[in-house]
Amino acid sequence: MGVYLNPGKQRFQMAINSEIYVDKTEMIQHINSVINTNQRYVSVSRPRRFGKTMAADMLCAYYDRSADSRSLFEGTNLFDNRDSSEQSWDRYLNCFDVIRLVMTDFIKSDVEVTGSLNRLSTRVLAELKVEYPSVEVDESDFPFSFEKFYYESKRQIVVIIDEWDAIFRIKPDDKKGQKQYLDFLRDWLKDKEFVALAYMTGILPIKKYGEHSALNMFDEYSMTQPMQLAEYTGFTNKEVRQLCDKYNMDYSELSSWYDGYKLRDNVPVDKRQLYREGKYEDHIIDIYSPLSVVNAVSSGAIRNYWNKTESYEALADYIKRDFDGLRESVALLMDGGRVRVNTSSYQNDMITFNGRDDILSLLIHLGYLGFDDRLSEVYIPNKEVLDVFKVSTQDKKWAETFRLFDKSQELLAATWSLDEKVVAETLEYMHDYSSNKTYNDESALSYAVQLAYYAAQKYYTEVLELDTGKGYADIVYIPAPQYPDKPVLLIELKYNKDIDTAMTQIKKRNYTGRLEHYKGNILLIAIDYNRDSLRTDAGFKHHTCKIERA
């Protein structure tokens, strides 16, 4: 037994000995299924506080050949729920040499990456040399030394790396060092016979780097794609209910504070097919932050425990970024709305942000946002996280954002009540506060109107240039499935013309034809902006509006 080589079962034993322990050992069935296959490279990314380290300790205890941990696992779910039709639950129990690394032990802000990797290599090879003294170590070639140990011992290794992404958090600007680190892991692990399993945990998914997607052999189990490991990092509804019963806690209150991360488990069919068949929700697993739940049930106090691992400033630093629509998105999310997001461009680090969606993607992985993969939407998952957002937006710079969001809500309410005067006045108000004080054409007007109706995204899906068969409706808001009673908003825009022309066009071209099943619950909204409007006692009145029900 060593610090890095075959670290034993003690850490996992301490977890089991704890007053509050939730059994996640069935996860081992899946990990066993990928041993010595092309899928033996596993990367699990979850926010802090989600049980990643305990899972790593559990795998060490199970695979470490020096651990003698049979009695430890015979009383667990892995043993109790074993399936006799499958291979034995203990087929790999205590079968491998295990290398356990916690990367924050090596990656330091004041140490060059070369020095960190040399220290890692020296320490690990020293322990291997003690275990296999007949093997000559080549300290200048870490991967080759492992090859030699393998040929001497005929034993494969299980590599378990905790906080694998530490370098991207501790040295975020060191691009050269990051590439060096990724190359080190690739050269050590990729396509090596001596690797029976490589299991990494971290907050971030694997860094994208062009050719330096160097760890592309790993299957990623993340907050956006949890697959078979969805229920094993974080507490499930069933597990939280059991804790509430045991400790006499109010489940509904605890759920409202800490529930909300909804992960889809792995199923062998297309998710669109599940949605069509009405079975999608059957494959959704609610996940809670373990640390918050444990603190709540052990203390009897349901409150915000987030600041034990994250500072409010961390969130504030990201959401204050000046990307188009980011602040408005945050206001909408804090109002209980959802925001559609494209996660594909995110580079899986903490500094490369090319737009709003990259920030929102990072917040998913940090646990500040939940993610609905069916609709590709983000949302604030629960009261605990909402509380963090509230504290993080107390800066006076947020006051105008929230004031404009309130105005957007007023605009939406006025539209629903067919109050043409208030709609026009509110559009005028929003225009006065926008960065685009003067529209040049209908496209610029369309952009401004979309911003003005930002609050509508809580209830609607926005469609631009909807093909109606005889033309294109400028902006259409289709009610979200959870708001079937809301009316469709069909908006036609005109620039320097008149309001009647816009309404006549909607009717003449039968824009509502493609929305037949909403008949009787459609609002036709004509908006005109006239830059040459005459001044009135109240100032310039550029916007006019006409609303009719169809």
Cβ neighbours around 259 below 10 Å, total:
23
Q: Is residue 546 within 8 Å of 493, Cβ to Cβ?
A: no
Tell me the CB-side half-sphere exposure of residue 302, using CA atoms within 13 A.
17
Specify the DSSP element, H or E, that contains 355: none
User: Which tops the pLDDT comparison, 184 or 448?
Assistant: 184
Backbone φ, ψ for residue 518 (5° rounding): -100, 5
For the ranges 223-232, 267-276, 292-301, 352-361, the lowest mean pLDDT is seen at 267-276
Q: Quick one: pLDDT band at residue 281, thresholds 50, 70, 90?
A: low
Q: Average pLDDT, stretch 395-421?
A: 92
Does 129 score more than 60 pLDDT?
Answer: yes
What CA–CA distance (Å, rounded) separates 106 from 108? 6
Q: Residue 469 burial (CB < 10 Å; 0-12/13-18/19+)?
A: exposed
Q: Quick one: pLDDT band at residue 280, thresholds 50, 70, 90?
A: very low
Residues 16-65 pLDDT 10s: 999 999 999 999 999 999 999 999 999 999 998 888 999 999 999 999 99
Q: Average pLDDT, stretch 199-209?
A: 87
Q: Look at residue 467 in the predicted model and tell me its pLDDT.
A: 74
Q: What is the pTM of this model?
A: 0.86
Q: Look at residue 268 in the predicted model and tell me its pLDDT.
A: 47
Q: Can you give the three-state secondary structure of 195-218, one letter per residue?
A: EEEEEEEECCCCCCCHHHCCCCCC
**Segment of 301-310, 427-436, 467-476, 512-521 carrying the highest mean pLDDT:** 512-521
Helix (H, G, I), strand (E, B) or coil at 329: helix
Q: Look at residue 138 in the predicted model and tell me its pLDDT.
A: 81
Give me 99's structure tokens: 């290398």
- The DSSP secondary structure of 466-483, one letter per residue, reads EE-SSSEEEEEEEEPTT-
Give me 194's structure tokens: 């001596």
Cβ neighbours around 520 below 10 Å, total:
7
What CA–CA distance (Å, rounded) separates 527 from 524? 10
Does 84 score more than 70 pLDDT?
Answer: no
Q: Average pLDDT, stretch 410-420?
A: 95
- In 78-228 the beta strands, taken as DSSP E runs, fall at 97-102, 157-162, 195-202, 219-221
Does 137 score more than 70 pLDDT?
Answer: yes
Q: Average pLDDT, stretch 221-244?
A: 91
Does 293 score more than 90 pLDDT?
Answer: yes
Q: Quick one: pLDDT band at residue 275, thresholds 50, 70, 90?
A: very low
Does 278 score more than 90 pLDDT?
Answer: no
Q: Which residues of 299-336 are buried (b: 16+ CB within 10 A; e: fewer)?
A: eeebebbbeeebebeebbebbbeebeebbbbbbbbbbe
Q: Look at residue 348 in the predicted model and tell me its pLDDT.
A: 86
Does 85 score more than 80 pLDDT?
Answer: no
Q: Quick one: pLDDT band at residue 269, thresholds 50, 70, 90?
A: very low
Q: Quick one: pLDDT band at residue 209, thresholds 50, 70, 90?
A: low
Contacts of residue 215, Cβ cutoff 8 Å, sequence gap at least 6: 41, 43, 182, 185, 186, 190, 206
- The DSSP secondary structure of 55-78, one letter per residue, reads HHHHHHHHHBTTS--HHHHTTSHH
Residues 338-391 pLDDT 10s: 999 999 888 888 888 989 999 999 999 999 999 988 888 999 999 999 999 999
For the ranges 48-62, 348-362, 417-431, 528-542, the lowest mean pLDDT is seen at 528-542
Contacts of residue 211, Cβ cutoff 8 Å, sequence gap at least 6: none
Q: Average pLDDT, stretch 399-410?
A: 91
Cβ neighbours around 435 below 10 Å, total:
7
- The DSSP secondary structure of 411-462, one letter per residue, reads HHHHHHTT-HHHHHHHHHHHHHHSS--S--SHHHHHHHHHHHTGGGGGTEEE
Q: Quick one: pLDDT band at residue 477, thresholds 50, 70, 90?
A: very high
User: Which tops the pLDDT comparison, 301 or 535?
Assistant: 301
User: Which tops the pLDDT comparison, 266 or 417?
Assistant: 417
Q: Quick one: pLDDT band at residue 99, thresholds 50, 70, 90?
A: very high
Q: Look at residue 535 in the predicted model and tell me its pLDDT.
A: 46
Residue 345's identity, in one-letter code, is S
For the ranges 34-48, 154-168, 224-238, 264-278, the lowest mean pLDDT is seen at 264-278
Does 511 score more than 90 pLDDT?
Answer: no
- First CA to last CA distance, the chain: 76
Q: Look at residue 192 in the predicted model and tell me its pLDDT.
A: 95
Contacts 24+ apart (CB under 8 A), 12-16: 12/54, 12/57, 12/58, 12/60, 12/61, 12/69, 12/72, 13/61, 13/72, 15/54, 15/57, 15/58, 16/72
Q: Is residue 255 within 8 Å of 231, Cβ to Cβ?
A: no
Helix (H, G, I), strand (E, B) or coil at 227: strand
Residue 170's identity, in one-letter code, is I
Percent of the chain with pLDDT over 70: 90
Between strands 370-372 and 377-379, the pairing is: antiparallel
Q: Look at residue 428 in the predicted model and tell me its pLDDT.
A: 85
